[in-house]
Structure 1
Amino acid sequence: MPSTTTIFAHILIAATSLIAAPLAAQAQSSPGVWLDVVSDERVRGLSWSDGKAAGQIYVDVPIEGPFNISAQATTLRGAVRHGGADAGFDLAATYSDQANLVRWHGSVVGHVFAGGQGDLDYVELQGGAGTTLGPVDVDILASYAPSQDTLGGSNFYRRIEARAGIWGTPVTVKAHFGRSSGHVDDILKSERLRPGGSYNDWGLSAEYALPIMTLSLGYSDTDIARDQIRFPASAAHHDAAFVAGAHFQF
């Protein structure tokens, strides 16, 4: 079996080819590039960077009409949750559109991990819809990873989130509530994304926009019970935490 690094190299080459083609064909469509630095990389209430500071770069490339492809790279700092991986890469193809007041999207996402031990990569389907209610944007999102050996089963995540700007200020506030569940084939492997089994997560954050960047401060928590976690390595970094960050867009 090829190593994770080899798999990533192949995917990266393919992604680069996909990105180059539309850029050459559509010079008028410029890619978007974002850079983030956070005190802890939290995903669905769980730390993916072992509670350490992390950096992230995201590139979004429009293709034709409502289609786009994107790539995201995140430093994971040898995260135990992901087999000691040093970095994680998300490669996605997305279709997004809007009908009247409802916006929606669907994506296929490949999660690739470099520098970790064992098979770690997995594929996930994502979709969501949202609308604007007065000053508030509301979105309902769902992600489903079909049963895969690297996850010890399937994983189903759904989430509702809202965000609103505070009138007359550069501040935006956000809140979310999510739930993770799924089928279990291997108890220990399923602890990777669902320590202790099915759980809820929630968060509240504020962003302050400046001319060159956006600063953020967020609160994250879950209802995971430590005494229900079967795999000790996944027991850390799921409790309440404050996360600070800086976001740059180019």
Structure 2
Amino acid sequence: MGAVLAGTGAPLAAHAQGIPSVELEATTDYRSRGLSWSDGDPALRAAVDVPVTSAITLSAQGVTLREASRHGGADAGFELAASYSAYAGLIDWRGAAVAHVFAGGQGDLNYGEAEAGLGASLGPARVDLSASYAPSQDAIGGSNLYARLGASVGIPATPFLFYGHVGHSSGSDDGTGRANRLRPAGDYADWAVGTEYYFAPVSLALTYSDTDIHRGDLRVPVLDHHYGEKLVASAIMRF
């Protein structure tokens, strides 16, 4: 969904005016980096971005995780972020600190990440390159690096947006098994393509995602329904 957010004009316009933007989403499966975070079940998501200055934004997001086994049986997951962005012609760059907080689960689940990225927009088209790095932490059994290349394009004079990305996850493993949360079969690649139909303030999206993880590579067999190809439908309201 990152490509959807980057390619949609409504949230960017709100930021430009210094007005908070809000998103509400219902989805048939909440997936991040090619993996299900809601145990393959439908989920609800709410997010708010609050511009503090023209460059600094505070963000918060909450997602129902449906007692996700990959996250200690957590009922909900939250992302709290502070980001800085700047522009130079057609290029924009950004950096952020993100805290991932989990509620209702068992064990040490919370962890933090640093993110950096740059992008370029030309008319209705946009390309983004980003990286997210979580230094070694007990909650994720080591470190984690996620690199992502995404693109989106809106079709002029239509309500359609097309988007896609490829990503790669890697990192260290402390041998405790907790690295399975973010990398259930070790280092892996993921990809997704999709389309969004926008009729203010609602969007309908359809996204196909997959990974190069194979069943035989899984270190915890119970996770096998979290990684495979999936077609996900979502309804999003932005205001």
Question: TM-score with structure 2 length normalisation?
Answer: 0.90
Alpha-carbon RMSD across the aligned residues, in angstroms, is 1.2
Show the counterpart of 2:204: 215
| Contact 1:222–1:240, Cα closer than 8 Å, also in 2 | yes
| Contact 1:81–1:233, Cα closer than 8 Å, also in 2 | no
- State how far apart, in whole Å, the 2-side matches of 1:135 and 1:186 are: 46
1:33 aligned to 22, 29, 32, which one? 22
Deviations 1:182-231 (A, max 9, x none): 01112511111001100000000000011330000010000001111112
Show the counterpart of 2:214: 225
Pairing 1:95–2:84 present: yes
Pairing 1:58–2:47 present: yes
- State how far apart, in whole Å, the 1-side matches of 2:18 and 2:185 are: 45
The structure showing larger relative contact order (alpha-carbon pairs under 8 Å, at least 6 residues apart) is 2
Task: Identify if the C-alpha distance between structure 1 residues 135 and 30 changes in structure 2 by more than 3 Å, giving closer, same or farther.
Answer: closer
Show the counterpart of 1:110: 99
| Contact 2:18–2:53, Cα closer than 8 Å, also in 1 | no
Q: Secondary structure at the match of 2:200?
A: coil
Q: CA deviation at 1:111?
A: 0.1
| Contact 1:177–1:203, Cα closer than 8 Å, also in 2 | yes
Q: CA deviation at 1:133?
A: 4.3
**How many correspondences in the alignment?**
223
- State how far apart, in whole Å, the 2-side matches of 1:141 and 1:207 are: 22
Aligned pairs for 1:102-141 (under 5 A) are: 102-133=91-122, 135-141=124-130
Question: TM-score with structure 1 length normalisation?
Answer: 0.86
Q: Secondary structure at the match of 2:26?
A: strand
- State how far apart, in whole Å, the 2-side matches of 1:64 and 1:103 are: 16
Aligned pairs for 1:230-241 (under 5 A) are: 230-241=219-230
**Where does the alignment leave 5 or more consecutive residues of structure 1 unmatched?**
1-27
Identical residues among aligned pairs (%) = 52
Pairing 1:244–2:233 present: yes
**Where does the alignment leave 5 or more consecutive residues of structure 2 unmatched?**
1-16
Show the counterpart of 2:142: 153
Task: Identify if the C-alpha distance between structure 1 residues 85 and 228 changes in structure 2 by more than 3 Å, giving closer, same or farther.
Answer: same
| Contact 1:59–1:71, Cα closer than 8 Å, also in 2 | yes
Task: Identify if the C-alpha distance between structure 1 residues 133 and 79 changes in structure 2 by more than 3 Å, giving closer, same or farther.
Answer: same
- Give runs of ≥4 in structure 1 deviating > 4 Å: none
Amino acid at match of 1:226: R
